[in-house]
Amino acid sequence: MAPIVSELSNLTDFVVKKGNGVKGLAEIGIERVPDQYIQPIKERMDMHQALQMPSDLAIPVIDMSKWGDRKVVDSICDAAEKWGFFQIINHGVSVEVMENVKTATVRFFSSTAEEKSKYTKENSPTNHVRYGTSFAPEAESSLEWKDYLSLFFTSEEDASTLWPPQCKDEALEYMKNAEPVIRKLMEALMTRLNVTEINENKSSLLMGSKRINFNYYPKCPNPELTIGVGRHSDISNLTLLLQDDIGGLYVRAHCTDANGSIVQNWVHIPPISGALVINVGDALQIMSNGRYKSVEHRVVANGSKDRLSVPIFVNPRPSDAIGPLAEVLETGERAVYKQVLYSDYTKHFFNKAHDGKKTLDFAKI
Ligand SMILES: CC(C)(COP(=O)(O)OP(=O)(O)OC[C@H]1O[C@@H](n2cnc3c(N)ncnc32)[C@H](O)[C@@H]1OP(=O)(O)O)[C@@H](O)C(=O)NCCC(=O)NCCSC(=O)/C=C/c1ccc(O)c(O)c1
Ligand SMILES: O=C(O)CCC(=O)C(=O)O
Ligand SMILES: [Fe+2]
């Protein structure tokens, strides 16, 4: 029988080590989030303020069915410069493939703690497969209300033998179907960086490695006290995110108030059936020398429903050195970032708690 919360002498042991996750905690039927999940006030989402945003501040939704039309390419580049975030519709990944990956996510997280804990940091047979909770529990002063499974893609063969059986086929099918979309987006984005051809070297830098995450945010008794994912920017080049119909993803945006001053606020990304959310990550911000923006985002916890999302992070290879592209600097622009080894950048990100856009300082000159 599951323990009741007062009997949980060691919450971290139950949630992190034993593999119960926050899902296990939610299923005990706790009435209040444990203290470890209470975020400092400045990290909680002020829902009232978020609702005050002008309605014209909506991130772009780009229809990819007219691919080949110059306007589509321009709107992708504009959105990556201005917002760092946009949604795409009619992108070619079928609804069935996307639904299957959502079903597989539920199937994985519905497995027993014993099954899931085969993939914790301590137990996983490979560091390419990791099940966990929050972001970096050993480095965080407050935890996030989220469980995840993270799968680093090396080859179909490795994935077939190492990835969890509950979701590997659906994950692979989804990644395969997303491939042409990723390539189109990269080709579009490169036009504004004076890159005319994606050769082998560029292909490695832009999409040489991929990671798929499955995020599961169980219904939370005090969503206002905690957070699903804290403020961060992704360290990828691009992220393609599939979200379900619950909502809760907010993006940092700038707007002008009644006095003409620039103010910052959080804009919601509304779920659109069949759409994918695309965002620029730090590596592309670095390679574009700051032209494309890797924008801070966060996810709120939900008081009435479970939520899931499935991001594919499109990255350089860990062994690649990343820095502003030669084509970007050709015009005489001064480099704002230095060359860094992508695996060093990744390690720096994963070894600390989420802290907004601070990871980028690692690459600043
Ligand atoms: C090649 C590997 C997979 C392994 O590294 P390697 O040096 O061979 O071995 P290792 O250091 O023992 O690897 C384990 C490391 O996994 C990394 N790791 C830590 N947390 C996680 C995690 N949540 N998910 C995946 N990996 C993690 C850490 O670097 C680990 O180190 P440690 O925690 O054991 O000290 C990888 O670390 C690497 O270099 N990858 C480069 C490409 C890559 O995957 N980049 C990351 C893109 S992900 C990205 O852009 C955003 C991710 C994100 C955002 C918000 C969230 O809330 C969130 O959960 C995740
Ligand atoms: O769940 C979401 O909508 C976003 C998750 C996220 O930001 C991430 O996994 O990096
Ligand atoms: Fe993210």
Pocket test for ligand 2, best of 22, 130, 297 (most atoms within 8 A of CB): 297
What pLDDT does 313 receive? 98
Residues near ligand 1 (Cβ within 6 A)? 127-128, 130, 132, 135, 148, 150, 152, 209, 211, 213, 229, 232, 234-236, 281, 313, 315, 318, 343, 346-347, 350
User: Is the pLDDT score of 361 beyond 70?
Assistant: yes
* H-helix segments, the chain: 11-12, 21-28, 47-51, 70-82, 95-109, 113-116, 156-162, 168-191, 200-207, 282-287, 326-329, 342-350
Per-residue pLDDT reduced to its tens digit, 307-351 = 999 999 999 999 999 999 999 999 999 999 999 999 999 999 999
pLDDT reading at 294 higher than 80: yes
Range from 12-26, 103-117, 132-146 that averages highest in pLDDT: 103-117
pLDDT (tens digit, 9 = 90+) per residue, 219-266? 999 999 999 999 999 999 999 999 999 999 999 987 777 777 777 788
Q: What is the dihedral of CA 197, 198, 201, 207, to 10 degrees?
A: 160
Q: Is 277 helix (H, G, I), strand (E, B) or coil?
A: strand
Q: Are 267 and 296 in contact (CB under 8 A)?
A: no
Q: Are 98 and 174 in contact (CB under 8 A)?
A: yes
- Calculate how far, in angstroms, residue 350's C-alpha sits from the geometric centre of ligand 1: 6
Q: How far is the CA of 296 from the centre of ligand 2 (A)?
A: 11
In this structure, what DSSP letter does residue 161 have? Answer: H
Q: Determine the Cα angle at 147 with ends 156 and 358, to 5°.
A: 90
Closest CA to 281 of 316, 230, 247: 316
pLDDT digit string, tens, across residues 19-42: 999 999 999 988 899 999 999 998
- Which residue is closest in CA terms to ligand 1's atom 7? 343
Q: Going edge to edge, which strands form the sheet with 262-268?
A: 229-232, 297-299, 249-256, 262-268
Q: Report yes or no: 233 and 281 within 8 Å, Cβ to Cβ.
A: yes
As a 3-state breakdown, the chain gives helix, strand, coil percent values, each rounded to 5, of 35, 20, 45
| C-alpha to C-alpha distance for 51 and 66, rounded to whole angstroms | 33
Q: How far is the CA of 70 from the centre of ligand 2 (A)?
A: 30
Q: Whose CA is nearest to atom 1 of ligand 2?
A: 309
Cα separation values, 345 from 8, 151, 208, 287, Å: 37, 18, 15, 13
The model's pLDDT over 269-287, given as tens digits with 9 standing for 90+, comes to: 999 999 999 999 999 999 9
Burial (CB count <10 Å: 0-12, 13-18, 19+), residue 228:
buried
pLDDT band at 72 (very low <50, low <70, confident <90, very high): very high
- Report strand pairing: 238-243 vs 276-280: antiparallel
> What's the CA-to-centroid distance between 66 and ligand 1, angstroms?
36
Average pLDDT over residues 116-127: 95
| Most confident stretch, 9-13, 304-308, 359-363 | 304-308
Report d(CA 20, CA 110) in Å as an integer.
11
Residue 196 Cα, ligand 2 centroid: separation in angstroms? 31
Ligand 1 centroid, distance to 217 Cα (angstroms): 20
Site residues for ligand 2, CB cut-off 6 Å: 213, 215, 229, 234, 241, 243, 249, 297, 299, 309, 311
Give the per-residue SS3 of 171-219: HHHHHHHHHHHHHHHHHHHHHCCCCCCCCHHHHHHHHCEEEEEEEEECC
Query: Mean pLDDT score of the chain, rounded to an integer?
Result: 93
Angstrom CA distances, 237 to 27, 60, 185, 297, 342, stand at: 36, 19, 11, 15, 11
Ligand nearest to the CA of 284: 1
Task: Decide if 233 contacts 284 (C-beta within 8 A).
Answer: no
Summarize pLDDT for 90-115 with one digit per residue, the tens: 999 999 999 999 999 999 999 999 99
Q: Ligand 2 atom closest to Cα of 269? A: 3
3-state secondary structure of 129: strand
When pLDDT is averaged across residues 183-208 and rounded to a whole number, the result is: 96
- Binned at pLDDT 50, 70 and 90, residue 153 comes out as very high
Atom of ligand 2 nearest to the CA of 234: 10
Q: What residue owns the CA closest to ligand 1's atom 18?
A: 350
pLDDT band at 356 (very low <50, low <70, confident <90, very high): confident
Under a CB-based contact definition with an 8 Å cutoff, are residues 231 and 297 in contact?
A: yes
Asked if 4 and 28 touch (Cβ cutoff 8 Å), the reply is yes
Whose CA is closest to atom 17 on ligand 1?
A: 350
* Predicted local distance difference test score (pLDDT) of residue 254: 78
Cα distance between residue 173 and residue 276, in whole Å: 16
Mutate which of 59, 237, 252, 299 for ligand 2? The one with the most ligand atoms within 8 Å of its CB, which is 299
**Ligand 1 midpoint to CA 179 (Å):** 22
* ipTM, interface predicted TM-score of the complex: 0.86
